[in-house]
Structure 1
């Protein structure tokens, strides 16, 4: 009886000693390097599978023929092919950049630069200020590196397919304004989190979790009403049949509607959207102005000196005036879209997602609190010296130890998200918006040039929304 505990203790001691031999900065560095590259390459492979679909599918599949015409299918294919080609270049650059930063110990270099700036500003060391400067420098560097890709995406890809509404001046101002508005918010969050980690040390995870919950709810309240209006103009929906229909729908399902806004999304993009925000008994619905039905803009005919050609063009224009293509949705279809969004409210999808995220956050903080002071992890990324930055260490742990875990977690969250979308569709169907929602889905798919055919593995792992054909099939089922 006395030997078993000794044997067990000796076995655990030997196992721990053997494993500790492999827990070295070099080994952890290469684990991070290979795991990060493997995940990045896997993501590129998934996009390559979908890229092949864009290349191979030139005709509308039979099952989609009644919803998508050949012209729109071709436009969507070319648009998504352009985005896919550009995406490969962007992903490759991101992979190279990440590897270069890893090999030159960029986080450590940024940290030492931040501490030197703090010494110059304050005349002494201050870990909280240094950590806030670290994130500011990191954000500034990321913004500069991403700028050429953002410009090309908006002014070449989106412009080529009629979606970009930016002018270069507005684009630059918009980017600067976002940076200036969000940096103080990020600094406040980082400063508060760093103080908690320093103050409570190994027991910080509970207090950091409570701080995260508090800040999440505060941002949920102030973002729509304070921050978002700094970038877009929110105009109350004018009195009329659409507003009456929406108010009646809200009243019928006891949705606590306070107001309905139209946001001028068309000043940035031709893509459309609708959503609601607000907590407790004060909900507000937002419609993008691109969602409303409108005539598509057509290029003007080139001028000619031939009067007969002019007369012919005028006659053709008059004869086709009644047949101009329209984009956007009718009032009934907009109400159907809103009904789908209110289905998310009815099923408490936002709070369910929030609950899952907060439980996941607590788990991550708790595990990370075991490793965040481990010098092996610091030294693996080039940090030297006696005093290590605690919040930076926490992020190093989260970003590297949880690499594989995040991939699995995101996959299951995608499954849950697709289930929620079907439930919201079903909610609209049960309120007799079946045909209107189907029409709206088809129109939004057309207006946004969404390609309706997907590789099964790409869709299963990356799609948070079900493909349009799956949604239409589910809506058409008779309960």
Structure 2
């Protein structure tokens, strides 16, 4: 049997089994006893509801991953990739255009397969627990806008990568890497002014005590903001969030309208201070640089597998192509990608602790630590968060530490006292 096929099938099955074991462990770690830290924040009904949500979401995820595994294995073993390739070649276009058609057809097929799960998640699961506010019209428009962006932004990038690998010889991976880096940087600048407004409405924060407090705090930290905005997050969900976007003097803070409704002013300021901590502690450029290095490594390894006939035989392909190499390499790279993802999560969790500390220390006079703790509790309750995730689930999948770990770390900082 083809060695590459054995490897790919093994990776798919073992990855599924790992996810299954972790999910079951996470369900078993649910405790009916409310942690003392959240006494008074969760009532018994809401705590039971949060655990019911974790169970329902986990079971849904297992059903989705089981169907995905079965369909992927069937598609590979039945020669589905070769059939898609024959369709793409039937248009009798050049190699780059054929590659775009091939990739587009695979993306379309994947989207159609995932559509029922997305519909169920949005309009059944999230609806059942009171999160969904998305209308059918918004759902459809989001899909169309995302597809349009994929064509307008992803298409040219993919075409450039195919062209570099076709004409640039051994240094092609380097040119592809540089093109991808340039693409990421351009998108970072376009996102807040072009891309994100396609999906949400951004409104300058109205004058008042909150805006004055944010402006005053930003000045005290010598932090320049281009603007403070609210976003109509309630258009799709009741979940709350906040984020920074943009670089340099174009930096702006964005609060979901749901966050402003959920938190008090001092808690919102603490959330802002946390996000600002990521900038001040240079977490964002460090993560960006690590992602760029990882991308360069990926392109170099990819270049070693271009045109590998055994790899194409594993997927039942009649023709060898650069665009096929890109797709099939993804299966080979997935174990390394998972390990890198775990490393990124470890780094990200460390950053979250540091940003929490920054918020607590820079808002010392406003009792920023206690305000952040209060805000974290409210957000956890509002989002029906899992208070007792299994450590292995956290290690593999969490980019943020569990909320109880964050609160414990904040309480260890001077001058925070014990909770009442």
TMscore range, shorter length: over 0.9
Aligned counterpart, 1:269:
237
Residue correspondences, number:
410
- What is residue 44 of structure 1 aligned with on the other side? 20
CA offset at residue 106 of structure 1? 2.2
Match of 2:32 among 52, 58, 61: 58
- Corresponding position of 1:411: 342
TM-score, normalised to structure 2, is 0.94
Please point out which of 285, 293, 299 is paired with 1:365. 299
Shift of 1:257: 0.3
Q: Which aligned pairs between 1:12-411 and structure 2 lie closer than 5 A?
A: 26-54=2-30, 57-65=31-39, 67-117=41-91, 119=92, 125-293=93-261, 328-385=262-319, 388-397=320-329, 399-411=330-342
Partner Cα separation in structure 1 for residue 94 and residue 4 of structure 2: 29
Per-residue deviation, residues 341-375 of structure 1 (Å, max 9, x unmatched)? 00000111111111111111111211221221221
Deviations 1:15-44 (A, max 9, x none): xxxxxxxxxx71211111112211122112
> Could you tell me how far 1:63 is from its partner in structure 2?
5.0
Q: Which runs of 5+ in 2 are unaligned?
A: 415-420
Looking at structure 1, the residues matched to 227 and 373 of structure 2 have their Cα atoms a distance apart, in angstroms, of 26
Determine the structure 2 residue equivalent to 1:435.
Answer: 370
Corresponding residue of 1:464: 399
Distance change >3 Å, CA 187–CA 359, structure 1 → 2 = same
Name the counterpart of 1:4. Answer: none
- Report how far residue 465 of structure 1 moved: 0.5
Aligned partners of 1:28, 1:182: CA distance in 2, in Å? Answer: 30
Tell whether the 8 Å contact from 1:343 to 1:427 is kept in structure 2 after alignment.
Answer: yes
> Residue deviations 1:72-115, cap 9 Å, x none?
21121111211112111111111111111111232222222111
Cα displacement (A) at 1:424: 0.3
Q: Which runs of 4+ in 1 moved over 4 A?
A: none
RMSD: 1.5
Runs of at least 5 residues in structure 1 that lack an aligned partner in the other structure: 1-24, 120-124, 294-327
SS at 2:304 equivalent: helix
Question: Could you tell me whether the CA contact under 8 Å between 1:59 and 1:70 is conserved in 2?
Answer: no
Q: Deviation at 1:207? A: 0.5
Shift of 1:45: 1.4
In 1, Cα distance between equivalents of 2:37 and 2:145: 46
Deviation at 1:58, TM superposition (A): 2.0
Is the 1:197–1:391 contact (alpha carbons within 8 Å) kept by the matching residues of 2?
Answer: no
Q: After TM superposition, give the deviation of residue 173 of structure 1 in Å.
A: 2.7
How far did residue 66 of structure 1 move?
Answer: 5.5
Indicate conservation of the 8 Å contact 1:50/1:458, yes or no.
Answer: yes
Deviations 1:392-451 (A, max 9, x none): 213322x23323212221111111010000000000011121111000000000111111
**Cα-to-partner distance string for 1:155-183 (whole Å, 9 max, x where unaligned):** 11111111111222332232223222332
Corresponding residue for 1:424?
355
Between 1:156-165 and 1:135-144, the stretch displaced more is 135-144
TM-superposed deviation, 1:61: 3.0
* Deviation at residue 283 of structure 1 after TM alignment: 0.4
Q: How many angstroms does 1:331 deviate by?
A: 1.1
Q: CA deviation at 1:255?
A: 1.5
Q: Which of 385, 405, 411 is the equivalent residue of 1:450?
A: 385
Cα contact 1:193–1:391 (8 A) shared by 2: no
CA–CA distance in structure 2, aligned partners of residues 360 and 174 of structure 1: 30
Assess if the C-alpha contact under 8 Å between 1:237 and 1:243 holds in 2.
Answer: yes
Report how far residue 67 of structure 1 moved.
4.6
Shift of 1:267: 1.1
Q: Return 356-365 or 203-212, whichever deviates more.
A: 356-365
The separation in 1 between residues aligned to 2:143 and 2:323, in whole angstroms, is: 28
CA distance, structure 2, for counterparts of residue 88 and residue 402 of structure 1: 23
Q: Is the contact made by 2:41 and 2:377 (CA closer than 8 Å) also made in structure 1?
A: yes
**C-alpha distance in structure 2 between counterparts of 1:45 and 1:248, whole Å:** 49
